Protein backbone atom coordinates (compact mmCIF):
# COMPACT_ATOMS: atom_id res chain seq x y z
CA UNK A 1 0.00 0.00 0.00
CA UNK A 2 2.74 2.43 0.96
CA UNK A 3 4.75 1.43 -2.09
CA UNK A 4 1.75 2.24 -4.23
CA UNK A 5 1.30 5.65 -2.58
CA UNK A 6 4.95 6.52 -3.18
CA UNK A 7 4.73 5.77 -6.90
CA UNK A 8 1.43 7.61 -7.28
CA UNK A 9 2.96 10.61 -5.49
CA UNK A 10 5.95 10.43 -7.81
CA UNK A 11 3.75 10.33 -10.90
CA UNK A 12 1.71 13.28 -9.63
CA UNK A 13 4.90 15.27 -8.98
CA UNK A 14 6.08 14.54 -12.52
CA UNK A 15 2.78 15.65 -14.01
CA UNK A 16 2.84 18.71 -11.73
CA UNK A 17 6.33 19.61 -12.90
CA UNK A 18 5.24 19.25 -16.49
CA UNK A 19 2.23 21.50 -15.92
CA UNK A 20 4.03 24.20 -13.93
CA UNK A 21 7.35 24.10 -15.81
CA UNK A 22 6.98 27.81 -16.52
CA UNK A 23 6.67 28.64 -12.82
CA UNK A 24 9.55 26.48 -11.54
CA UNK A 25 12.09 27.02 -14.29
CA UNK A 26 14.64 29.66 -13.30
CA UNK A 27 15.52 30.57 -16.91
CA UNK A 28 14.02 30.68 -20.37
CA UNK A 29 14.73 27.27 -21.95
CA UNK A 30 15.40 28.87 -25.33
CA UNK A 31 17.59 31.73 -24.13
CA UNK A 32 21.17 31.31 -25.35
CA UNK A 33 24.10 33.02 -23.72
CA UNK A 34 27.51 33.02 -25.38
CA UNK A 35 29.22 33.97 -22.11
CA UNK A 36 27.92 30.96 -20.19
CA UNK A 37 28.76 28.02 -22.44
CA UNK A 38 29.01 24.54 -20.89
CA UNK A 39 28.93 25.80 -17.33
CA UNK A 40 29.21 23.05 -14.69
CA UNK A 41 26.25 22.77 -12.30
CA UNK A 42 26.23 25.71 -9.88
CA UNK A 43 23.70 27.62 -7.80
CA UNK A 44 22.29 29.75 -10.62
CA UNK A 45 22.27 26.79 -13.05
CA UNK A 46 21.58 23.66 -10.95
CA UNK A 47 22.11 21.30 -13.91
CA UNK A 48 24.71 23.45 -15.69
CA UNK A 49 24.42 24.94 -19.17
CA UNK A 50 24.79 23.42 -22.63
CA UNK A 51 26.76 24.20 -25.78
CA UNK A 52 24.70 27.34 -26.42
CA UNK A 53 24.61 28.50 -22.82
CA UNK A 54 21.03 27.40 -22.26
CA UNK A 55 19.97 26.37 -18.74
CA UNK A 56 19.81 22.55 -18.67
CA UNK A 57 17.59 22.53 -15.57
CA UNK A 58 14.93 24.67 -17.25
CA UNK A 59 15.18 22.58 -20.39
CA UNK A 60 14.70 19.36 -18.44
CA UNK A 61 11.60 20.85 -16.77
CA UNK A 62 10.14 21.98 -20.08
CA UNK A 63 11.15 18.65 -21.57
CA UNK A 64 8.85 16.96 -19.06
CA UNK A 65 6.03 19.01 -20.51
CA UNK A 66 6.91 18.12 -24.11
CA UNK A 67 7.38 14.41 -23.52
CA UNK A 68 4.54 13.79 -21.09
CA UNK A 69 1.97 15.80 -23.02
CA UNK A 70 2.95 14.06 -26.25
CA UNK A 71 2.71 10.65 -24.59
CA UNK A 72 -0.65 11.35 -22.94
CA UNK A 73 -2.08 12.89 -26.09
CA UNK A 74 -0.94 9.96 -28.22
CA UNK A 75 -2.34 7.36 -25.84
CA UNK A 76 -5.62 9.24 -25.41
CA UNK A 77 -6.21 9.52 -29.16
CA UNK A 78 -5.25 5.91 -29.84
CA UNK A 79 -7.41 4.85 -26.90
CA UNK A 80 -10.53 6.63 -28.15
CA UNK A 81 -10.12 5.55 -31.77
CA UNK A 82 -9.14 1.97 -30.92
CA UNK A 83 -11.89 1.63 -28.33
CA UNK A 84 -14.62 2.89 -30.66
CA UNK A 85 -13.57 0.89 -33.70
CA UNK A 86 -12.91 -2.25 -31.67
CA UNK A 87 -16.25 -2.03 -29.90
CA UNK A 88 -18.28 -1.42 -33.04
CA UNK A 89 -16.51 -4.23 -34.90
CA UNK A 90 -16.91 -6.61 -32.00
CA UNK A 91 -20.58 -5.76 -31.64
CA UNK A 92 -21.67 -5.78 -35.25
CA UNK A 93 -19.17 -8.27 -36.70
CA UNK A 94 -19.50 -8.82 -40.43
CA UNK A 95 -17.42 -7.31 -43.20
CA UNK A 96 -16.19 -4.31 -41.20
CA UNK A 97 -14.92 -6.68 -38.54
CA UNK A 98 -13.08 -8.75 -41.11
CA UNK A 99 -11.46 -5.67 -42.58
CA UNK A 100 -10.43 -4.44 -39.14
CA UNK A 101 -8.73 -7.70 -38.34
CA UNK A 102 -6.90 -7.59 -41.66
CA UNK A 103 -5.61 -4.10 -40.90
CA UNK A 104 -4.70 -5.08 -37.36
CA UNK A 105 -2.72 -8.08 -38.57
CA UNK A 106 -1.03 -5.85 -41.09
CA UNK A 107 0.29 -3.56 -38.38
CA UNK A 108 1.17 -6.41 -36.06
CA UNK A 109 3.13 -8.13 -38.82
CA UNK A 110 6.08 -5.83 -38.26
CA UNK A 111 7.81 -4.73 -35.08
CA UNK A 112 5.99 -1.57 -33.98
CA UNK A 113 9.00 0.66 -33.52
CA UNK A 114 10.43 -0.28 -36.93
CA UNK A 115 7.23 0.76 -38.70
CA UNK A 116 7.09 3.93 -36.65
CA UNK A 117 10.66 4.87 -37.54
CA UNK A 118 10.08 4.24 -41.25
CA UNK A 119 6.77 6.14 -41.34
CA UNK A 120 8.06 9.06 -39.27
CA UNK A 121 11.17 9.22 -41.41
CA UNK A 122 9.15 9.30 -44.61
CA UNK A 123 6.70 11.87 -43.26
CA UNK A 124 9.72 14.00 -42.58
CA UNK A 125 10.51 15.09 -39.04
CA UNK A 126 8.43 16.96 -36.57
CA UNK A 127 6.66 15.76 -33.46
CA UNK A 128 3.38 15.36 -35.33
CA UNK A 129 5.02 12.97 -37.81
CA UNK A 130 6.40 10.87 -34.98
CA UNK A 131 3.04 10.84 -33.19
CA UNK A 132 1.17 9.81 -36.33
CA UNK A 133 3.70 7.04 -36.90
CA UNK A 134 3.41 5.72 -33.34
CA UNK A 135 -0.36 6.14 -33.27
CA UNK A 136 -0.72 4.20 -36.52
CA UNK A 137 0.38 1.06 -34.72
CA UNK A 138 -0.84 1.83 -31.23
CA UNK A 139 -4.59 2.11 -31.82
CA UNK A 140 -4.56 -1.44 -33.18
CA UNK A 141 -3.73 -2.87 -29.75
CA UNK A 142 -6.64 -1.05 -28.16
CA UNK A 143 -8.95 -2.07 -30.98
CA UNK A 144 -7.96 -5.72 -30.57
CA UNK A 145 -8.57 -5.63 -26.84
CA UNK A 146 -11.86 -3.74 -27.13
CA UNK A 147 -13.07 -6.19 -29.74
CA UNK A 148 -12.35 -9.28 -27.69
CA UNK A 149 -13.93 -7.78 -24.56
CA UNK A 150 -17.00 -6.72 -26.54
CA UNK A 151 -17.32 -10.28 -27.81
CA UNK A 152 -17.48 -11.58 -24.27
CA UNK A 153 -19.82 -8.90 -22.98
CA UNK A 154 -22.14 -9.35 -25.95
CA UNK A 155 -22.99 -12.87 -24.81
CA UNK A 156 -24.12 -11.79 -21.32
CA UNK A 157 -27.76 -12.11 -20.45
CA UNK A 158 -28.26 -8.41 -19.72
CA UNK A 159 -27.36 -7.51 -23.29
CA UNK A 160 -30.05 -9.86 -24.57
CA UNK A 161 -32.44 -8.33 -22.03
CA UNK A 162 -31.64 -4.83 -23.24
CA UNK A 163 -32.15 -5.88 -26.82
CA UNK A 164 -35.49 -7.55 -26.02
CA UNK A 165 -36.68 -4.42 -24.28
CA UNK A 166 -36.23 -2.61 -27.59
CA UNK A 167 -33.07 -0.63 -26.99
CA UNK A 168 -31.17 0.38 -30.11
CA UNK A 169 -27.74 -1.05 -30.87
CA UNK A 170 -26.16 2.33 -30.35
CA UNK A 171 -27.75 2.65 -26.91
CA UNK A 172 -26.54 -0.81 -25.92
CA UNK A 173 -23.03 -0.03 -27.09
CA UNK A 174 -22.81 3.28 -25.29
CA UNK A 175 -24.57 2.43 -22.03
CA UNK A 176 -23.97 -1.29 -21.53
CA UNK A 177 -20.79 -2.25 -23.33
CA UNK A 178 -18.63 0.86 -23.18
CA UNK A 179 -18.66 1.25 -19.36
CA UNK A 180 -17.57 -2.37 -19.00
CA UNK A 181 -14.77 -1.89 -21.51
CA UNK A 182 -13.28 1.19 -19.94
CA UNK A 183 -11.58 -0.34 -16.91
CA UNK A 184 -9.52 -3.06 -18.61
CA UNK A 185 -8.65 -0.77 -21.50
CA UNK A 186 -7.67 2.10 -19.24
CA UNK A 187 -5.40 -0.25 -17.30
CA UNK A 188 -3.75 -1.24 -20.55
CA UNK A 189 -3.43 2.43 -21.53
CA UNK A 190 -1.67 3.27 -18.27
CA UNK A 191 0.81 0.44 -18.69
CA UNK A 192 1.67 1.87 -22.13
CA UNK A 193 2.86 5.24 -20.79
CA UNK A 194 6.40 4.11 -19.96
CA UNK A 195 7.08 2.51 -23.32
CA UNK A 196 5.46 5.43 -25.16
CA UNK A 197 7.79 7.87 -23.42
CA UNK A 198 10.73 5.69 -24.42
CA UNK A 199 9.48 5.60 -28.01
CA UNK A 200 8.96 9.36 -28.27
CA UNK A 201 12.30 10.31 -26.76
CA UNK A 202 14.00 7.55 -28.75
CA UNK A 203 12.64 8.96 -31.99
CA UNK A 204 13.63 12.49 -30.99
CA UNK A 205 17.06 11.10 -30.22
CA UNK A 206 17.26 9.76 -33.77
CA UNK A 207 16.23 13.13 -35.12
CA UNK A 208 12.79 12.11 -36.34
CA UNK A 209 10.86 13.45 -33.33
CA UNK A 210 10.66 17.03 -32.08
CA UNK A 211 12.48 19.79 -33.97
CA UNK A 212 15.77 20.83 -32.47
CA UNK A 213 15.39 23.95 -30.34
CA UNK A 214 12.34 22.54 -28.58
CA UNK A 215 13.30 21.08 -25.20
CA UNK A 216 12.83 17.32 -25.21
CA UNK A 217 14.89 14.80 -23.25
CA UNK A 218 15.83 12.50 -26.11
CA UNK A 219 16.71 15.40 -28.40
CA UNK A 220 18.77 17.03 -25.64
CA UNK A 221 20.78 13.86 -25.13
CA UNK A 222 21.31 13.46 -28.84
CA UNK A 223 22.52 17.04 -29.13
CA UNK A 224 24.79 16.90 -26.11
CA UNK A 225 26.24 13.52 -27.03
CA UNK A 226 28.72 15.29 -29.34
CA UNK A 227 30.39 17.07 -26.42
CA UNK A 228 29.86 14.39 -23.81
CA UNK A 229 33.49 14.65 -22.69
CA UNK A 230 33.27 18.39 -22.07
CA UNK A 231 29.86 18.65 -20.45
CA UNK A 232 28.56 15.28 -19.23
CA UNK A 233 25.82 16.99 -17.20
CA UNK A 234 24.03 17.94 -20.43
CA UNK A 235 23.50 14.23 -21.05
CA UNK A 236 23.25 12.84 -17.53
CA UNK A 237 20.41 15.02 -16.25
CA UNK A 238 17.98 14.47 -19.13
CA UNK A 239 18.92 10.78 -19.00
CA UNK A 240 18.09 10.70 -15.31
CA UNK A 241 14.78 12.40 -16.06
CA UNK A 242 13.85 9.74 -18.62
CA UNK A 243 14.87 6.88 -16.34
CA UNK A 244 12.93 8.25 -13.36
CA UNK A 245 9.81 8.93 -15.41
CA UNK A 246 9.83 5.57 -17.14
CA UNK A 247 10.43 3.68 -13.88
CA UNK A 248 7.61 5.57 -12.17
CA UNK A 249 5.06 4.86 -14.87
CA UNK A 250 6.22 1.26 -15.39
CA UNK A 251 5.92 0.59 -11.68
CA UNK A 252 2.44 2.12 -11.61
CA UNK A 253 1.47 -0.03 -14.57
CA UNK A 254 2.79 -3.15 -12.83
CA UNK A 255 0.82 -2.34 -9.69
CA UNK A 256 -2.35 -1.91 -11.73
CA UNK A 257 -1.77 -5.19 -13.55
CA UNK A 258 -1.28 -7.00 -10.23
CA UNK A 259 -4.51 -5.52 -8.95
CA UNK A 260 -6.27 -6.59 -12.13
CA UNK A 261 -4.97 -10.16 -11.76
Q: Which residues bind another protein (CB under 8 A)?
A: 102, 105-106, 109-114, 117-119, 121-124, 194, 198, 201-202, 205-206, 208, 218, 221, 225, 228-229, 232, 235-236, 239, 242-243, 246-247, 250
CB 112 within 8 A of CB 195: no
Query: Between 174 and 247, whose beta carbon lies closer to another protein?
Result: 247
The distance of closest approach from Cβ of residue 14 to another protein in the complex, given in angstroms and rounded to an integer, is: 14
Of 140, 152, 251, 242, nearest to 199 (Cα)?
A: 242
Nearer to another protein, 85 or 200 (CB): 200
State the nearest-atom distance from the C-beta of 194 to another protein, in Å.
7
Q: Which C-beta is closer to another protein: that of 77 or that of 103?
A: 103
- Specify whether the CB–CB gap between 21 and 61 falls below 8 A: yes
How far, in Å, CA of 139 to CA of 136, rounded? 6
The least distance separating another protein from the CB of residue 46, rounded to whole angstroms, comes to: 20
Q: Which is nearer to another protein, 173 or 234 (CB)?
A: 234
The residues near 124 (Cβ < 8 Å, ≥ 6 apart) are none
Q: How far is CA 140 from CA 132, 212, 260, in A?
A: 13, 30, 22
Rounded to whole angstroms, the Cα distance separating 177 from 125 reads 39
We find the least distance from the C-beta atom of residue 95 to another protein, in angstroms, to be 17
Amino acid sequence: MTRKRIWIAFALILVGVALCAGLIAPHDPYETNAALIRLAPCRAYPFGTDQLGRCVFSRVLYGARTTLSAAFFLIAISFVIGCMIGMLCGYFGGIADGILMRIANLFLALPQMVIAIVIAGILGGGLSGALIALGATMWVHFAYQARSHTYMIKQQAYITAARLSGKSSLYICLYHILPNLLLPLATNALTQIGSTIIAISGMSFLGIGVEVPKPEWGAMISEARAYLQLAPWCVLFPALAIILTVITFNELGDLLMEKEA
